[in-house]
Amino acid sequence: MNAREALLARLRAQRVEPVELPALEGNFVRYADARERFREALGEAAGVVVSVGIGSTLQQVVAGLDVVREARRWVSLTPEVAGNLEAPELPHHFRDIDVVVVPARFGVAENGAVWIDGAAAPVRAALFLAQHLVVLLPQGELVDNMHQAYARIGSTLTDQAFGCFMSGPSKTADIEQALVVGAHGARSLTLVEY
Amino acid sequence: MSERLVGHPARARLFLADEARSRFHDGALWEIRRRRDRRARDLPEWQELRALAARIKAHMLGRLPGYLEQFEANATRHGAVVHFARDAAEHNRIVLELLRARRITRVVKSKSMLTEECGLNPWLEQHGIEVTDTDLGELIVQLRKEPPSHIVLPAIHLRTQDVAETFAAELAAPPLADPVSLTRFAREHLREKFLAAQAGITGVNFAIAETGGFVVCTNEGNADLGTALPGLHIACMGLEKLVPRAADLGVFLRLLARSATGQAITVYSSHYHGPRPGAELHIVIVDNGRSSIRAEPEHRRALACIRCGACMNTCPVFRRSGGHSYGTEVPGPIGSILAPLRQPERHASLPHACTLCGSCSAVCPVGIDLHEQLLALRRRQVDGGPAASAAQAPVATRGKRWLVALVAWALSSPQRTARLGAWVRWLGRRLPGLLRAGPLAAWSDTRELPPLPRRSFQEQYAERRARATPDAGAQQGVGREEPS
């Protein structure tokens, strides 16, 4: 008998009283001002939020960000913004990219996370190997909590091999509990609302 | 005296010898506990979420074989290859074979307590494969050839100076004095490892039966880099990591980071469904003693653990004695349950590394009755449950049982009670000295007997009553005897 059969047979032979699967209903948190809560939560996660005001374009705002102005090579994964270079096709080539601009599907007010999947970032290394991230989020694309987030993702979860809730830039506190922003992934995350 | 100590107390003493370090450890973990409290209070539905999480896991454990098959079928449909391993050795063989068949010699690994449990690193290294732990804390302890001391904060037992010395000695780092420059140095070092890796090994935080996908949570982004670059991703998971529905993740992701570090969510919660285009994904599902725990009604709930570490951060014993004092890959309250269930004799001291304060059970996000289970394990040592043996019950515990029987006999008659009292008062005045030198020296080392009076309450009462005037008696009542 192979390991699979042996294991399943062993588990089936055990008597475990059944427990009903609970419905995921509850009085889950909602926010009167989800946008404000989202900004606050992303701020706590060391992310920066920038809005596109009246009279300026998304391209202008992104190109005017400090990380972009200082970048030698920056790429955009969406036609809404043009970088100064085409995005590489091979994952390893993102090592030389200073800034990646990527669109998010929606944000989560309770924790400042955005949902980005393979449809937005076909080469997922773009999200982790580039030095800085600029995330684009259309205004109003917010849910209050994670339950709504999964409801919104729905069956699209399995359309892509990869999908990620991302809340702020990479960080660590592994040395004496001192928070250091910029561990292995992006060293900064700027969210642009438009 | 200390040579009498074995197991947890002996190892705790090593950590406590450096008082400054122990105090730092205690304070750092307590601060994380406080952050966790603040986050939990942010959510009015916190208790509701805990109850949901406990029921989802209990349901999953009840129908585990069905969910395993469902997960396997769905994961396979997305192009992953699913393997089953009965124990650590089988797990290690499967991983080695996958690497060998592709002539892979450089592997990056992200934090996975399961691969620690299986001893994967030494096994792969023995076979000529370079394994780099990529979580910063894990890298630090790997370079020091130590196990992690905490499941979420692997290097919490170390100070900045220790890390600086380790990087200088092992990676030829220049002298660096602060966490920021040390982290930057590790970032550059590890980027080269990520870019050169031929395979990435990760753990699994949650596996979804209905979709065949799984989720890995990190703050550093190391699991993501380790799986975004090489052509092979091997994900290793204990069979209890399953949840039935994708929507269940809403509950668990809300609980995990808040409980672990006091963040609202980890920086990255990555969902994997099948391999990257042109790459391979293998999932190894491991039993290694978990199914035996499932068969025990009293301890089954321990399998609901999502490895957040909250029980460690709050535990007064863990905070002071350090993770290495447990001698297990998962330390702290949950480790003191899991390890003795697998190897009762080897880990006999762990159920006693607990004050039964119940703080662990109060913070556990999935409602595991941790302190009750620790008590049950002590009971099992005394009563000889399924996994107990005579050798396992410590001498003190067996002695206590005799003592209780003796006291019950004495207390059943007033005369015997009076005689026992006189004897205990006599003995009590001489006992501290006897205990410190005798076989119970280890026990009495950190305990003080209260001073005992020379005369019993009845004797004192009779004497005062005889002496007292009617007025004085009413005012004074019965005075308290000064300790002699």
Answer yes or no: is B80 within a domain. Answer: yes
Q: Is A88 on the interface with B (CB under 8 A)?
A: no
Question: Which residues on B lie below 8 Å from A41 (Cβ)?
Answer: 264
Show the domain range for B229. 43-292
Per the domain annotation, does A21 fall within a domain? Answer: no
Last residue of a domain, one of B274, B292, B310: B292
| Residue B246 C-alpha, separation from nearest chain A C-alpha, in angstroms | 7
H-run or E-run covering A102: strand A99-103
Structure tokens belonging to residue A83: 């970088």
Q: Answer whether residue A163 is part of any domain.
A: yes
CA distance B281 to B291: 25
Strand stretches in B239-323, DSSP E: 242-243, 268-272, 280-286
Among the candidates B231, B258, B292, a domain finishes at B292
Structural domains in chain A (count): 1
- A97 to chain B, closest Cα gap in Å: 14
B304 CB contacts (<8 Å, ≥6 apart)? B53, B54, B57, B58, B61, B240, B366, B367, B368
- Kindly report which listed range (A49-63, A134-148, A171-185, B376-390) carries the lowest average pLDDT score: B376-390
Domain presence at residue B403: no
Report angle CA B259, B263, B266 to the nearest 5 degrees.
95
Q: What is the pLDDT of residue B468?
A: 79
Mean pLDDT of successive 10-residue stretches along chain B, which has 484 residues: 68 94 96 97 95 98 98 98 98 98 98 94 97 97 96 96 97 93 97 98 98 98 97 98 98 98 98 97 98 96 98 98 96 97 94 96 98 96 63 65 88 90 83 68 71 86 83 48 46
User: Do B283 and B420 sit in the same domain of this protein?
Assistant: no
In chain B, what residues touch A20 (CB-CB under 8 Å)? 55, 59
* ipTM, two decimals: 0.98
Whether B387 is covered by a domain: the verdict is no
* DSSP state for residue B365 in the 8-state scheme: T
User: Residue B357 falls within a domain, yes or no?
Assistant: no
> Tell me, what's the pLDDT at B406?
87
pTM > 0.95: yes or no: no
- The answer to whether residue B402 sits within a structural domain is no
Taking CB atoms and an 8 Å cutoff, what residues of chain B touch A172?
Answer: 136-137, 183, 219-220
Tell me the CATH number at A79. 3.40.50.10420
Number of domains in chain B: 2
CATH of the domain at B262: 3.40.50.10420
> What integer pLDDT is reported at residue B396 of this predicted model?
65
Q: Is residue B34 part of a domain?
A: no
Domain interval for residue A119: 33-193
Angle between helices B179-196 and B136-143 in degrees, nearest 10: 90
Is B374 within a domain?
Answer: no
Q: Do B61 and A28 touch (CB under 8 A)?
A: no
B68 contacts A178? CB cut-off 8 A: no
The tokens for B20 are 């400054």
Cβ of A175 and B59 within 8 Å?
no
Contact state of A176 with B140 under an 8 Å Cβ cutoff = no
- A158 in any annotated domain: yes
CA distance B161 to B175: 10
Residue A12 lies in a domain: no
Other CB atoms within a 10 A radius of the CB of residue B87 amount to 13
Question: Does residue B399 belong to any structural domain of this protein?
Answer: no
Q: Which residues of A touch B64 (CB under 8 A)?
A: 11, 16
Domain boundary among B277, B292, B307: B292
Classify the C-alpha dihedral A155-A156-A162-A164 as positive or negative: negative
Whether the Cβ atoms of residue A161 and residue B274 lie closer than 8 Å to each other: yes
